[in-house]
Amino acid sequence: MATRRPTGDEYAASLANISRTRRAQLTAEFEGELGIDHKAREKEAEAERRWIARKTFIVWTIALMFFAIACQKLWLMGIDVDQPFSDINPVKSLFGE
């Protein structure tokens, strides 16, 4: 004889009673049948995280370089004036006389 399939609350209760390891095993089997490769997915995710970290480092390095250059230019412009805020010409100071 065929066994009766649980419906509604009985089905939810039976899913809740499956252990986490068994649930993970069933999920892995199902994804394996679909052709999902967990190791490849993990490698791809790790490569993505590394690329994001590299991009972040490059962008911050360039930003700090521009900031340092701007600070030095402003400092040099301040040294060139006789009285503060009287003789500042940004175009002349940045591009030379």
Residue 7 CB neighbour total at 10 angstroms:
8
Cα 22 to Cα 19: distance, rounded to the nearest angstrom: 5
The mean pLDDT of 10-22, rounded to a whole number, is 68
pLDDT in tens, 64-85: 999 999 999 888 877 766 666 6
Q: Is residue 65 situated within a structural domain?
A: yes
Report yes or no on whether pTM surpasses 0.85. Answer: no
Name the residue range of residue 74's domain: 55-97
- 16-20, 21-25, 51-55: lowest mean pLDDT where? 16-20
Q: Is residue 82 situated within a structural domain?
A: yes
Q: Is the pLDDT of residue 8 over 60?
A: no
**Nearest to residue 42, comparing CAs of 57, 54, 31?**
31
Structurally, how many domains does the chain consist of?
1
Q: Is residue 45 situated within a structural domain?
A: no
Residue percentage of the chain with pLDDT more than 70: 66
Q: Is residue 40 a contact partner of residue 50, using CB atoms and an 8 Å limit? A: no
Q: Is residue 77 a contact partner of residue 90, using CB atoms and an 8 Å limit? A: yes
